[in-house]
Amino acid sequence: MAQQDTTLYHLRTVEVFGKPAEVFASGSRVTTLDSTFLRTYTAGSIADALQSRTPVFLKTNGPSGIAIPAFRGTSPTHTAVLWNGLNISQPALGQNDMSLLPLNSIGSIAVQHGAAGATYGSGAIGGAILLNSPTQLEPGFGADVLQEVGSFGRYFSSASARYSGRKVSVGLGGYYLAAENDFSFRDYGRIGGPTRQQDQAQVAQHGFTQDVSWQLSDNTRLALHGWYTHADREVPPSLGAANTNAEQVDRNLRLMTELNHSSNWGETSVKAAVFNDYLLFTDNNNHSTTDINTYQVQAEQTYTYARRWSLRGGLNLQHFEADVQGYGRQVKEDRASAFLLFRYDPSKRLDLSLNLRQAFVKGYNPAPAPTLGANWLMLQHDQHQLNLKGNVSGSYRVTTLNERFWQPGGNPDIKPEQGWSYETGLRHRYTLGTLQLESELYVYRMLVDNWIQWMPVTSSYWSPRNLQKVRSQGIELSSRASTTLGDWQLAATGAYTYTASEQVKAYEGNQELNSQLAHVPLHKAQLGADLTFRTWTLLGNLTHTGLRYTDNSNASSLPGYTLLSLALHKKITLGQYQFIASVRSDNVTDRAYTVLENMPMPPRSLAVGLRFVIP
């Protein structure tokens, strides 16, 4: 039992300061996705969860489901994605597709809103998504099998198994997804707008995850995490555009090993990783491959003194080898960064964090990224708690390889981006018996210099350009209430975001100043409800995405849309085993909508599933 006690002890040292993602993020907004939601919604992808439960805006190129996240009016390249603490953003595109992994392969998802370059490195300008592999604390064997069948030829299967012993724990997971996406839509690209079946949105995906953890000694743990995903997706043409049979194949292999050791000097963590990201895009006129190997090492040391302060120092090294057809040659790049994160709790009611990161990239001189944050428990009265938070952070993004090397269009003179983010917020908590009410209000302002935007400079190719200064500012409001009433467990969430993202200074010309950037909705609102009655669970999500402009001159726009999704689960217990039957419907109101211009999205869909759980 000694190991377990040690593990628990180590966990406790971290818990002093709250959840791991929040330790060095005083005063900034970090939300952890509700684990009940993740466990019930296992057939969905990470993108689905972010879409329905966070203010993150997911840009999707249509029904094939490629979904890239954007925070607070920034673009998808301004989102850092970390997997077990390592930045996994692919260096060619600088963005990550959130539809590649289903929720069953992920232990937890946390979302960092706003800049956090000091903590997460390049790209964390708008925010960061923190994915963690499942950790197994309960000993024994467990397994889970799920089969779902849905509208438009959708089949989803997943299976996972885990074993946790005294020293070793092993987890394995796999999934398979096939979807025809052959839904009907009105083709307004043709005279008369005939009803047509989508025939260019077929999807085939599969993936595996593997997590092994080995307690070498009382103080030392070794873990291996692996992730392989393969996606073959057709990309539908816009209404009215010729079908060029566009197809995208993504293959991502991510392997990492992590060694954790605790001593009198604190916690030592060394991570080493190898990633391979392969992308093949083909259509009638193109055959383009991107094949990138990333080697990454990160070492960090965390020292925690009592419950007063904690200091973490670390070093991150990255080496990229990019074989990209579009570059015409192999490109190699090394990046390094050093960081120092400091958390200080001068009193029980106040915590502060001061973080600093300096990146080193050949040919660039990234500015240091500091963070200063404070979280003050301003009021504690009866059942009420009110926190005041504030945070100032710097962030940066090293230009992607495509931005520099792609031919034609790559811009060797492109400058890296640099941002400052200021935010303040209030967090209110109210507890009365089983009733819990938690509300948050944040206002932020973000200034990004040399914001990079790809623009079609000629009719045949795009090129990245630096906008001199972009200002994004907005309000985020969210509330969550939960209670237990007899056999009922009720939870409701509501959120609203207002995002004004504008170019405020331009290198040349002035015609696009002070206009909302394309594809950034001013308003986004969500309502969610989780109702459980004995063995029944009902999940409901209502999301409203407001009007988005499709161009930087704000001359054309796409109307807002409201989507409702519902899922009903019934748990059947057979001895120690469980069956969970589910019925799920997306776009319940059968709304005709588009996320991007002239790209019709699926109408109402229905899916039924059966899940077998060995706990």
242 touches other proteins (CB under 8 A):
yes
| CA trace torsion 458, 459, 462, 463 (10° rounding) | 0
Site string for other proteins, 167-186 (x = CB under 8 A): -------------------x
Contact yes or no for 499/72 (Cβ under 8 A): yes
Name the residue nearer to other proteins (CB basis): 447 or 558.
558
453 touches other proteins (CB under 8 A):
yes
Give the amino acid at 84. N
Contact yes or no for 426/390 (Cβ under 8 A): no
Report which of 117, 155, 131, 150 is spatially closest to residue 211, judged by C-alpha positions. Answer: 131
Helix/strand/coil for 163: strand
Stretch that binds other proteins, among 64-72, 216-224, 234-242, 488-496 (CB under 8 A): 234-242
511 touches other proteins (CB under 8 A):
yes
512 touches other proteins (CB under 8 A):
yes
Q: Residue with structure tokens 């089969």? A: 147
247 touches other proteins (CB under 8 A):
no
Stretch that binds other proteins, among 24-32, 382-390, 461-469, 486-494 (CB under 8 A): 461-469
Exactly one of 238, 268, 385, 482 binds other proteins (CB under 8 A); that residue is: 238
Stretch that binds other proteins, among 188-196, 360-368, 374-382, 487-495 (CB under 8 A): 188-196
459 touches other proteins (CB under 8 A):
yes
Q: Residues near 195 by Cβ (< 8 Å), separated by ≥ 6?
A: 184, 185, 186, 187
553 touches other proteins (CB under 8 A):
yes
Stretch that binds other proteins, among 73-81, 154-162, 365-373, 504-512 (CB under 8 A): 504-512
Name the residue nearer to other proteins (CB basis): 220 or 550.
550
Write down the least CB distance from residue 244 to other proteins, Å.
8
Contact yes or no for 540/503 (Cβ under 8 A): no
Write down the least CB distance from residue 178 to other proteins, Å.
26
556 touches other proteins (CB under 8 A):
yes
Contact yes or no for 189/240 (Cβ under 8 A): yes
Name the residue nearer to other proteins (CB basis): 412 or 575.
412
Contact yes or no for 539/530 (Cβ under 8 A): yes
b vs e for 526-541, b when ≥16 Cβ sit within 10 Å of the residue's Cβ?
Answer: bebebebeeeebebbb
With CB under 8 A, what is the number of residues at the site for other proteins? 41
Helix/strand/coil for 405: helix
Exactly one of 2, 8, 168, 241 binds other proteins (CB under 8 A); that residue is: 241
The backbone torsions φ and ψ at residue 61, rounded to the nearest 5 degrees and listed phi first, read -90, 15
Helix/strand/coil for 14: helix
How far is residue 157's CA from residue 202's CA, in Å, rounded to a whole number? 17
Name the residue nearer to other proteins (CB basis): 210 or 288.
288
Write down the least CB distance from residue 239 to other proteins, Å.
5
Write down the least CB distance from residue 241 to other proteins, Å.
4
Helix/strand/coil for 519: coil
188 touches other proteins (CB under 8 A):
yes
Name the residue nearer to other proteins (CB basis): 448 or 518.
518
239 touches other proteins (CB under 8 A):
yes
Write down the least CB distance from residue 281 to other proteins, Å.
11
Residues 24-43 that bind other proteins (CB under 8 A): none
Name the residue nearer to other proteins (CB basis): 264 or 285.
285
Chain centroid to Cα 39, Å, comes to: 17
Exactly one of 285, 347, 365, 576 binds other proteins (CB under 8 A); that residue is: 285
Exactly one of 220, 550, 557, 587 binds other proteins (CB under 8 A); that residue is: 550
Exactly one of 18, 107, 153, 189 binds other proteins (CB under 8 A); that residue is: 189
Exactly one of 429, 597, 603, 614 binds other proteins (CB under 8 A); that residue is: 597
Name the residue nearer to other proteins (CB basis): 180 or 512.
512
Give the amino acid at 236. P
191 touches other proteins (CB under 8 A):
yes
The backbone torsions φ and ψ at residue 412, rounded to the nearest 5 degrees and listed phi first, read -65, -15
Report which of 486, 496, 516 is spatially closest to residue 504, judged by C-alpha positions. Answer: 516
Question: Which element (helix H / strand E) includes 89?
Answer: none
408 touches other proteins (CB under 8 A):
yes
559 touches other proteins (CB under 8 A):
no
Contact yes or no for 609/582 (Cβ under 8 A): yes
Within 216-363, strands assigned E span 220-234, 247-263, 266-283, 286-305, 309-324, 329-347, 350-361
Name the residue nearer to other proteins (CB basis): 147 or 288.
288
Query: Which long-range CB contacts under 8 A does 1-6 form with residues at least 24 apart?
Result: 2/218, 3/166, 3/167, 3/215, 3/218, 6/218, 6/219, 6/262
Residues 265-284 that bind other proteins (CB under 8 A): 284
514 touches other proteins (CB under 8 A):
no
Report which of 330, 333, 328, 272 is spatially closest to residue 300, judged by C-alpha positions. Answer: 272
412 touches other proteins (CB under 8 A):
yes
Stretch that binds other proteins, among 222-230, 406-414, 522-530, 531-539 (CB under 8 A): 406-414
DSSP code of 264? T
153 touches other proteins (CB under 8 A):
no
Which tokens sit at 177?
Answer: 């997804």
Chain centroid to Cα 310, Å, comes to: 27
458 touches other proteins (CB under 8 A):
yes
Residues engaged in binding other proteins (CB under 8 A): 186, 188-191, 193, 237-242, 284-287, 407-408, 412, 453, 455-462, 465, 509, 511-512, 518, 550-553, 555-556, 597-598
